[in-house]
Amino acid sequence: MMERDGPLAGVRVLAVEQFGAGPFGTALLAELGAEVIKIEDPRLGGDIARYVPPGQADRDSLFFETFNQGKRSIALDLTETGDRALFERLVTTADAVFSNLRGDLPDRLGLTYATLGRVNAAIVCVSLTGYGRTGPRAAWPAYDALVQAEAGWAALTGQPDGPPTKSGLSLADYAAGAMSMVGLLAALLAARTSGRGSDVDVSLLDTALSMLTYPATWRLSAGIETDRLPMSAHPSIVPFQFFATKDGHVAIACAKDRFFRALVEALELNELAADPRFADFAGRLANRDVLLEILAGRLATRTTAEWLTALGGRVPIAPVRSLAEATDRDALEGRGLLRDYQHPALGRVSAIGSAIRVAGHVPASRRAPRFDEDGPALRESLAARDAAPPA
């Protein structure tokens, strides 16, 4: 077993996980030094993410690598008596059991504290499901696009005259994965103090609904509806949106009065700063259309690079970049985000690591495990533990 360091070194998590949401969450733990052991069902050939194209070979894929770097793998059929017994022996060595399955399966497969607490009283059992472990939809499968649609995210995204639009990324999955890790770590801290574990339940839909934040507060408290606006504009802060330039687009966010004053000064539109219609947030919101027409006309006269030079550091501004531009290798390396390694089936793999920085810890670049790669070593370690004389 490879030695691990980091703030979570010594923490062992058994992960009955698949696809993106759960593996995204446990990957955060692995980067921070936790030992994450994937429990992969041999009847299914392991995590279905192993077979997602492009960049797929045998039982490995670039999709799978993205979410499973630095983990371990053992093949266990939790419905088979021998494998179940082996799993429960692993539970006695673990701090947490994490699953992201359909809502009815944690109870059916015995992955909750009611079952595993009898094996290890301090075990934390985290269930990340689509719609929760109880209720009429517990057994329904759920995916990111469905949740973005149902939680109202898609209705808030896109052009006003266009269709509802989901994010280009699986943000409901990733948010729920990260949320479940917060729950896991909180329950683990409590278990370390009390010696007793617990269940932690997180659902994709609840996570997405909780992230509606201030539009939901406006709606529930004052009946204020939030509508889609052109150019990804903020519903109440003006200007706070994308603008077309001579050769592309920029994002500008004047979330303080002083930024608005700096913007109009740099645009040589000083008269706007003195105009009572634009003196504060409320005025700029009430006169949004006339203000944005003036600003858009001026911003369209120069290139993105020219505006970045003129406004950078004075006004919150960023270029709207392509994926190719955003994934510049040198820039990622400079920020310590690039994970680079050789894979026996996929060749050179380059991926982006976690954004979490803990002083003194430098995450290693480790490939994802091959299917059941760690099975023999884990079985051997359990056999040796069983054969050891009592302490």
Return the exposure string of 189-220: e unless at least 16 CB atoms fall within 10 Å of the residue's CB, then b.
eebeeeeebbbbbbbbbbbbbeebeebeebee
Distances (CA, A) of 73 to 39, 56, 70, 94: 6, 18, 10, 15
Q: How far is CA 155 from CA 136, 167, 207, 208, 272, in A?
A: 25, 11, 17, 13, 33
Residues 6+ away with beta carbon under 8 Å from 229: 160, 235, 241
Distance CA 78, CA 96 (A): 17
249 flagged as catalytic: no
Q: What is the 3-state secondary structure (H, E, C) of the chain?
A: CCCCCCCCCCCEEEEECCCCHHHHHHHHHHHCCCEEEEEECHHHCCCHHHHCCCCEECCEEHHHHHHHCCCEEEECCCCCHHHHHHHHHHHCCCCEEEECCCCCHHHHCCCCHHHHCCCCCCCEEEEEECCCCCCCCCCCCCCHHHHHHHCCCHHHCCCCCCCCCCCCCCHHHHHHHHHHHHHHHHHHHHHHHHCCCEEEEEEHHHHHHHCCHHHHHHHHHHCCCCCCCHHHCCCCCCCEEEEECCCCEEEEECCCHHHHHHHHHHCCCHHHHHCHHHCCHHHHHHCHHHHHHHHHHHHCCCCHHHHHHHHCCCCCEEECCCHHHHCCHHHHHHCCCEEEEEECCCEEEEEECCCCCCCCCCCCCCCCCCCCCCHHHHHHHHHHHHHCCCC
Q: Which of 234, 249, 343, 361 is catalytic?
A: 234
- The residues carrying an active-site annotation are 234
